[in-house]
């Protein structure tokens, strides 16, 4: 639990605090380059103003690549497990298929409509999933309330 929940949350908190604070400080100091940079270049515009930019920019690229690869791998694992009927030991070729398919869908969306199309697809597929998660939360809540009522009933002896 600590390695899966607490440590990543703390690292994210430190990362967002450091990068957000640095970016806010640069904008307040009048760094026009950062505020005028396009959305994809803002990270590199911020890093360019810091010492060791020649090291931090390639490191940032590597970290972004690692983030996307691990996210894609996790998504492929989930889809593979679902399509295998819950089995976690599905054939490797099946998982490779889902990873390649996921990548091809992203490439097609990027080529067809750019980043906006990819973002729209992510939102349009995420909203129904969020509704399913809300229904699951409501179901869990009702189930826990029903269980509490059953546990609070006095035990009856079998006759």
Can you give 95-150 as a three-state secondary structure string?
A: HHHHHHHHHHHHHHHHHHHHHHHHHHHHHHHHHHHHHHHHHHHHHHHHHHHHHHHH
Looking at every residue in the chain, the average pLDDT score rounds to 87
14 in a structural domain: yes
32 in a structural domain: yes
105 in a structural domain: no
φ/ψ of residue 49, rounded to 5:
-85, -10
7 in a structural domain: yes
41 in a structural domain: yes
Tally the domains of the chain.
1
State which residues form the domain around 35. 1-50
43 in a structural domain: yes
Q: Between residues 3 and 62, which one has the greater pLDDT?
A: 62
108 in a structural domain: no
pLDDT band (50, 70, 90) for residue 75: confident
137 in a structural domain: no
Is 51 buried (19+), middle (13-18) or exposed (0-12) by CB count in 10 A? exposed
List, in order, residues 6 or more apart from 18 with CB less than 8 Å away. Answer: none
Residue 113 clears pLDDT 80, i.e. is over it: yes
φ/ψ of residue 104, rounded to 5:
-65, -40
pLDDT band (50, 70, 90) for residue 157: low
């Amino acid at each position: 639990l600590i390695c899966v929940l607490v440590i990543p949350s703390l690292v994210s908190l430190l990362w967002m605090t450091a990068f957000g604070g640095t970016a806010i400080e640069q904008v307040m100091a009048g760094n026009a380059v950062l505020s005028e940079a396009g959305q994809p270049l803002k990270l590199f515009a911020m890093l360019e103003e810091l010492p060791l930019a020649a090291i931090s920019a390639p490191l940032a690229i590597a970290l972004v690549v690692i983030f996307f690869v691990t996210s894609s791998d996790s998504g492929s694992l989930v889809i593979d497990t679902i399509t295998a009927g819950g089995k976690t030991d599905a054939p490797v070729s099946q998982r490779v298929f889902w990873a390649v398919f996921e990548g091809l869908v992203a490439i097609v969306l990027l080529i067809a409509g750019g980043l906006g199309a990819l973002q729209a697809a992510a939102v349009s597929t995420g909203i129904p999933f969020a509704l399913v998660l809300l229904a699951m939360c409501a179901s869990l809540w009702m189930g826990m309330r029903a269980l509490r009522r059953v546990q609070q009933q006095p035990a009856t002896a079998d006759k």
